[in-house]
Every structure is written in C-alpha cells, then in structure tokens.
Amino acid sequence: MRSRLAICGLLALVAPSGCIASNVVATGDRLVTTPVVALHFEPAPGLPLQGLYESVEIRGDAALSLRKVYYLFDTGGTYTAAALTEVDGVPSFQTLNGTWKSTAAGLELDGRPPVLLEQAPQHLRITAENGVLVLRAANLQ
Amino acid sequence: MATKLLQWLGALFIVLLVATAIGGLLVLKDRVRVVVQSDAPTSGPDPTALLRDDVQVLASRMGELQAALSQNFDRLQAAIEERTAARHADVIALRQEVGTARQLLDRLTQDLVALRGQVRGLQPQAAPQQQPAPANPRVESAAEAAVPVEVAPSPPAHAEPAPAVPQAKPAPGFLSFSLPAVQFRCDELQDYALLPGLCRVGFDAKSTLHDFTGVTEKVAGRFAADFDDPEGAWSGEVTVDAGSLVTGVEGRDTDMWEHLATKEHPQIRFAIQRFRPAPGGIDVQKQTARGDIDGKMTIRGQTRSLTMPVQLEVDPQKRVVVSGQVPLKLSDYGVPVPSQLGIINMQDEVVVWIALRARMQPKGHK
C-alpha cells in the first residue's frame, strides 16, 4: 500500500512537467531580428509615390554614415527628404528638394539614372549602387 | 616339430624385443636430452665481449652525433629567432608606414572636402547669372548652413584668370545625398559601440521539470578590436542589467533576481582582455573572425576569469555581429542554485550566451 502511494506521489510530481513547455531560445534565434526580414518585396515599376516614408533599414556602404532617412513624396513629381548622417561621431541632417519619376526602369530621382524600386505592404525598397534603403510608410501627425 | 617350436620362440623373442624398445622409447622420450659439444678448445675472442665493445663504440658515436646535432639545432634556433625578430620589426615598420599613409590619405580627403566647399562657395560668385539645372536637387547640410564657409576673396577684374581648379571627384553619394568616403576596415584597431535594442545576452538552464532561457536586451558596452592583430590586444567591457533578465515565468524571475542579488549587484559585467584567434579563424576579406576571448566575468559581485569562444562577422548593415557561448557554474560566482523543496532542482551549470551588434565608432569618440 505504501509503495503504491509513493508511486502516486512521484507521478503527481512528474506529471506537471508535461504541462510546462520548455522555453529555451534556439541558437539561431538569439540575435535580435527586425520585422523587415519577414517582408517579401516585389518589383514596382511605375509605382506612384505619395506620402511620408521613413527608413527602417539601410544596408551597404551607405550604412556606414547614414543613420536615418525621411522622404516625403508629392504626387506632382517633387519630393523633400532628410537624412541623418554621422561622420566622425558628429551627427547632422542633410535636406534635399528634388524631383522623382517612377518608370518601368525604376525610380528616377532628380533626373539621375533609375534605381531599382520594390514594394511590400507599407514598405518600399530602393536599391542603389552603394546601398539599399528600406522605407516604411509613416503618417504626418 | 622342435624347430618349428624354436622358430616360433625366436619370432616371439624378436617381437618382444621390438615391443620393449618401443615401450622404452615412449617412456623415456621426454627425458632424453641430446647435447652436441665440441671438444675443441675455444681459441677466438669472447663474442659477448665483442658485442659489448661494439655497443660501447656505437654509444660513443651516438653521443658525438648528438652533440654535433645539438650544436646545429642551437645554430638553427638562433637563426630562426633572429629572422623572426627581423620579420617582426619589418611588420611593425610596415604597419607604421601604412598608418602614416592612411593618416596622409585622411588628411588629403579632408583637404579635398574643404576644397570642394570652397569651390561650391566660389561657384555662385563666379557665375551669378547662371541658372541652376532644374534636375539637380538642392542639397543643404545642416552643418554647412550653420557654419558659413570661408570663401577666398574673388580676384580683381584685371587679374589674370586663376588656374583651373582640378575637378574634384564627387563624394560618394546615395540617392542624391552627399555622403563622406567612409570605409569599414576590420583589419585595423577600431572602436565599436554596442547598439541598444539590437543586443541580447542570456543563459540556458536545465531543471528537473524543464529547460528554460533567461534573456535580456538591456546590454551596453564598447570594445576595441583589430580582427587581424596576431597579438589579439582587444579591450572593452560588456555590461548587462541583471534585474532585466527574464525567463517567462514571473515567480521564477523573482527568485532569480533574489539569487543574483540584483539590488546589491545590479550589473553583470564581462571585461575583455584578449582575443586569441582560432587557427585559420581570421578572414579579413570576408570580414570574419573566430577565436576565444579571455576576460573577467563578474556576477553577483564575484569576478572570475572566463574564456568565451566567439564568432564575429559584419552584417549587410555594416555592423559587427558578435556571438558566442560558454558554460559556467553558478556556484563559482556564489549564486545559490535554485531548488524547490529539494525535489525540483536547477542544475548548477548554465550556458551563458551573447548575441551582440556593434557599430564602428570614429577614433577617439567616447
């Protein structure tokens, strides 16, 4: 009788372990990831641009000194933009006013050769010679 | 009749004789020992003495050979050390030359930027009537707007035209923005600062019921590293807010903070002392490094030496990603190993891991 009780007690102790799931973080998931990774971009030739966009990721050599970028596109074909750069530890903003044109060849900024423009829900990706810029639609408040 | 009887007796005798001989041979065969000994007196030298003599001669020659080889090895070692020292001096001199050349290049780049600023300032004065091209965007740097550029006085009208300013190569831009020519070099000593919100430090623990991870993103610090430094003279420190470690179970977190004594010791620190690259673990071209970091780990106010195997790489955003893990015993740092009623026990050994992102900082920037 006593041995049966002991077995029941042991089972009572062990049983909850099946209810508590292991929550060990996998080795591949240790690094902080950004939501941009999950986005699927598709080419967007001729995409009309409008509204405010802010950068959520900057890749390539441009990422060495570029920290943040804002674009405000106007349907009339003009834009204004600001970029926060950091050079020798000194951050400073650059501002731009120019023109944009979205064609089958890509996005033409200020009459320059077109760059690859892609889109994902609420996001744009611009691939230039020395960097890739991922922008997310933002609201003017 | 009698003859026949005798014949039979003789034959029987022979048979008996042969049988006796065979029986005797069978009985005595193991006891018989045949020794062949020459009766001639031993006239030559003792072969054992000869062998001993040969061995002594051989040993003597081996000793001479060893001495000769030892001298040669000493000379060889001295020559190698001398050559290594000369090579090391060459490498140091080369590094200094490269450093000087880079400083010169940096200075030239600064001069070029200043020159471009002056040219930009001169352009409106030189051609005030010229209309700006509509396609070109108006670029205005906040720094330039705030600080007026010193412009050289324009030459008098009768003066001879100034020599043509060489066309400066445009600065590497990005989508009409003007960016400086910054290069990422992992093969020289650089300062790196950990990026808040993009770093994680944690530990994996095993207990009677199930395994779990404690993790925090409240990580700060900086380090100086040169991937290509054979001496591995790295330095820096990573600090973790111990009170922000969470395991996903509220009660367990409270117990963990108590065990870590986070009120008295709010930080877990790892001071980097040295990097020991693994054989073939440095690839400057791919900007990766693999090896062991020696340092001092401080948990609950107790400091112990710790070596953590790590990997470093540069991600597409030009940030250095540092990852690594090492097992350690809680008891080594005076952390009580949690136990519930003596039945549900946590193992003393946990695996501490890091997943950090750091960005290169300008030299001298704090």
List chain A residues with CB under 8 Å of B321: 31
Provide the pLDDT for residue B310: 95
d(CA B169, CA B79): 50
Collect all residues with Cβ–Cβ distance below 8 Å to B294 and sequence separation of at least 6: B272, B273, B274, B275, B276, B305, B306, B307
pLDDT of A114 above 50: yes
> Is B316's CB within 8 Å of A132's CB?
yes
Number of Cα atoms under 13 Å in the Cβ half of residue B166? 3
Residue of chain B with shortest Cα separation from A115: B175
DSSP bridge pairs for B304: B297
Q: State whether residue A59 sits within 8 Å of chain B by CB.
A: yes
Residues B210, B347 contacting (CB under 8 angstroms): no
Provide the pLDDT for residue B131: 39
Residue of chain B with shortest Cα separation from A20: B210
**Exposed (0-12), middle (13-18) or buried (19+): which is B236, by Cβ within 10 Å?**
buried
Provide the pLDDT for residue B152: 36
d(CA B162, CA B168): 16
- Residue B259: name the closest of B302, B200, B316, B318 by CA: B302
Residues B170, A121 contacting (CB under 8 angstroms): no
Collect all residues with Cβ–Cβ distance below 8 Å to B310 and sequence separation of at least 6: B290, B291, B292, B293, B322, B323, B324, B354
Q: State whether residue A8 sits within 8 Å of chain B by CB.
A: no
- Residue A56: name the closest of A121, A102, A130, A109 by CA: A121
Where residue B320 falls among pLDDT bands split at 50, 70, 90? very high
Residues A32, B220 contacting (CB under 8 angstroms): no
d(CA B188, CA B229): 8
Q: What is the ipTM of this complex?
A: 0.77
How close A5 comes to chain B (CA, Å)? 17
Which residue, among A30, A80, A86, would best test binding to B if mutated, counting the most B CBs under 10 Å from its CB?
A: A30
Contacts 24+ apart (CB under 8 A), B334-337: B334/B300, B334/B301, B334/B302, B335/B259, B335/B260, B335/B299, B335/B300, B336/B259
The neighbour count for residue B157, using CB atoms within 10 Å, is 5
> Is A87's CB within 8 Å of B140's CB?
no
Provide the pLDDT for residue B111: 75
Kindly state the tokens that stand for A37: 């990774």
Strands in chain B per DSSP E? 138-141, 173-174, 177-178, 190-194, 200-205, 212-216, 219-225, 235-241, 267-283, 288-299, 302-314, 320-329, 339-340, 344-345, 349-361
Q: State whether residue B197 sits within 8 Å of chain A by CB.
A: yes
> Is B357's CB within 8 Å of A94's CB?
no
Q: State whether residue A138 sits within 8 Å of chain B by CB.
A: no
pLDDT of B341 above 50: yes
Provide the pLDDT for residue A2: 55
* Residues 14-53 (B) with a CB less than 8 A from some CB of A: none
Q: State whether residue A128 sits within 8 Å of chain B by CB.
A: yes
DSSP bridge pairs for B187: none
How close A134 comes to chain B (CA, Å)? 11
B239-268: average pLDDT: 93
pLDDT in tens, B212-251: 999 999 999 999 998 888 788 899 999 999 999 999 888 8
Provide the pLDDT for residue A125: 95
How close B162 comes to chain A (CA, Å)? 32
- Cα angle A129, A38, B205; round to 5: 120
Residues B274, B234 contacting (CB under 8 angstroms): yes
pLDDT in tens, B342-357: 677 889 999 999 999 9
d(CA B219, CA B260): 17
> Is A21's CB within 8 Å of B217's CB?
no
Collect all residues with Cβ–Cβ distance below 8 Å to B76 and sequence separation of at least 6: none
Q: What is the DSSP string of B79-95?
A: HHHHHHHHHHHHHHHHH
Ordered by where they begin, the domains of chain A are 35-138 (2.40.128.280)
B323-332: average pLDDT: 95
Phi-psi region of B264 (alpha: psi -120 to 50; beta: other; left: phi over 0): alpha
Q: Which amino acid is at B9?
A: L
More confident residue, B166 or A109: A109
Phi-psi region of A106 (alpha: psi -120 to 50; beta: other; left: phi over 0): left
List chain B residues with CB under 8 Å of A97: 137-138
How close B352 comes to chain A (CA, Å)? 12
Q: State whether residue A95 sits within 8 Å of chain B by CB.
A: yes
Which residue, among A94, A115, A124, A126, would best test binding to B if mutated, counting the most B CBs under 10 Å from its CB?
A: A94
How close B345 comes to chain A (CA, Å)? 12
Where residue B163 falls among pLDDT bands split at 50, 70, 90? very low
> Is B182's CB within 8 Å of A126's CB?
no
> Is B177's CB within 8 Å of A85's CB?
yes
List chain A residues with CB under 8 Å of B177: 66, 69, 81, 83, 85, 94, 96
> Is B210's CB within 8 Å of A109's CB?
no
- Average pLDDT of chain B to the nearest whole number: 79
- Residue B192: name the closest of B312, B353, B352 by CA: B312
* Residues 164-183 (B) with a CB less than 8 A from some CB of A: 172, 174-180, 182-183
Indicate the pTM of the whole model: 0.61
Radius of gyration of chain B measured on its C-alpha atoms: 45
d(CA A63, CA A86): 10
Nearest by CB to A59, which of B176, B215, B317?
A: B317
d(CA B95, CA B67): 42
> Is B137's CB within 8 Å of A96's CB?
yes
How close B361 comes to chain A (CA, Å)? 7
pLDDT of A101 above 80: yes
